[in-house]
């Protein structure tokens, strides 16, 4: 999907652009099959990230927002059957989160080089306050 800058495998059409690809589906009971479906194509990773944020901000995904869940386990369970058809999606995400220790990023990030919160700026890529330097790195990464 990197050729199409689709970081999250999002189906559909983005600004009239898509590509038809074979994909694996789960019928909701562990019965899998292959289909051909349309996936969004983006001009850059920036648009892919921004589109993903717009999708998960929809009320349909309220149950996965950090403010509405007590743990990542609740959030990954809520994604199964809504964001992804894979009935093992939560289990797969949980394995990745645990393997790489990703819960370390669940807290609010404050850089020790920052003297006060007043010096922080809202970073839409991380959905938290960071320094301008961190935002610049995120923008550069998104636009690569």
The DSSP secondary-structure symbol of 11 reads B
CA dihedral of 108, 109, 110, 113, whole degrees rounded to 10: 180
What pLDDT score does 40 carry?
Answer: 97
Backbone angles phi, psi at 117, to 5 degrees: -65, -25
46 has a pLDDT exceeding 60: yes
Q: What tens digit of pLDDT does each residue of 88-141 get? A: 999 999 999 999 988 887 765 555 554 445 567 778 888 777 788 888 888 988
- Report the alpha-carbon distance of residue 72 to residue 98 in Å, rounded: 10
Strand bridging mode 32-40 / 18-26: antiparallel
CA neighbor of 44 nearest in space, from 22, 23, 14: 14
The arithmetic mean of pLDDT across residues 17-38, rounded, is 93
Model-level pTM greater than 0.85?
no
Contact 129, 119 (CB under 8 A): no
């Amino acid at each position: 999907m990197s050729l199409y800058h689709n970081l999250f495998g999002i189906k559909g059409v983005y600004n009239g652009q898509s590509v038809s690809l074979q994909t694996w589906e789960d019928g909701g009971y562990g019965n899998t099959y292959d289909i051909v479906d349309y996936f969004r194509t983006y001009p850059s990773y920036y648009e892919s990230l921004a589109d993903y944020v717009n999708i998960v901000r929809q009320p349909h995904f309220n149950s996965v927002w950090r403010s509405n869940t007590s743990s990542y386990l609740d959030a990954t369970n809520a994604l199964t059957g809504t964001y992804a058809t894979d009935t093992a999606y939560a289990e797969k995400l949980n394995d990745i989160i645990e393997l790489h220790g990703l819960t370390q990023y669940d807290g609010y990030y404050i850089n020790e080089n920052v003297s006060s919160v007043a010096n922080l700026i809202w970073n839409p890529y991380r959905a938290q306050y960071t320094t301008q330097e961190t935002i610049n790195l995120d923008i550069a990464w998104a636009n690569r």
